[in-house]
Structure 1
């Protein structure tokens, strides 16, 4: 982010530098020091996350429209940061993640790897409400999520098999998608494909879970 962008934020929001500094979680002195620099001066990278978080908070507070160019930049930055952090947590690279989705066998293997991570199950349990939101999107989503949730909770399913259910549900909730959910019409195709493969994997061996 550059000084001219911060100057524009002051103009667009009508906030004083002091109030904007609060959103950015920096001191008034620091912000004013930046504003004295040339307009092309790039703000040090260690402040980047705070700046983008502050911009999204400005949107939340109704001080900036979502369509603002710098807001879109902040959304992209925070999405990328979330993705990087998630991949670090999963000990997977983007390349490994995408390669695993190229065929049915690879998808099952990927779900198995994701499901073996303790963090995956915790993530699903902490986002149960989000799963319910997905169930409301379509009957297809609801049936597949319900089946995999039953597999996850069952005492009659092998642990290895449960890992695939955990991995598939985690993929649905994961902040990185092979096809971003925001793309109209196709954004959930990869999610449906992963869920379908995981459900089929179970139905071949566990008929009682069939909806």
Structure 2
């Protein structure tokens, strides 16, 4: 990571060095000093994880484009192949899973299906209801999303296959945070709340489609 990446974040977000510094955990004076350095000035490695985590938050808030070359460079800074592999194995994704930072809703849902299809992941979700319920303390919207997904996995009307996304999202919620934002930039662009939202919305759309029933093509 170099000074050019940091300058691009400041330019794109419109933040002052003081504002961005507070997010990173640095003084504005330190950032201002860095911005006066040459573009290829290397950011001290000790600060790279904090800057990368801040970049994740800004992407999830829609303030940075994950497709931007500068953003991609930051998200991938300091990550080794071993770290990627450890995170992928922990989530149960294929070892050749594409770790491109760009993720869209369809790819997220597909990844959740792969995770939720594993019996071991299903078992972990089912054996940790209290731990899952604790996240409801985060607020009403958290409660709604979690309750929707829990009702899905408990449903006797839905097939196991239809429950995979719910299992995947709830397992993701249980996954230690260190395995996602720091080590795995594809799903890590979205926080737990967003992942729950993608999954809950999927089931709400499914329920809506079932309620409406088949459409008469003659209409």
TM-score by length of 1: 0.49
More relative contact order in 1 or in 2 (CA 8 Å, sep 6+)? 2
TM-score by length of 2: 0.47
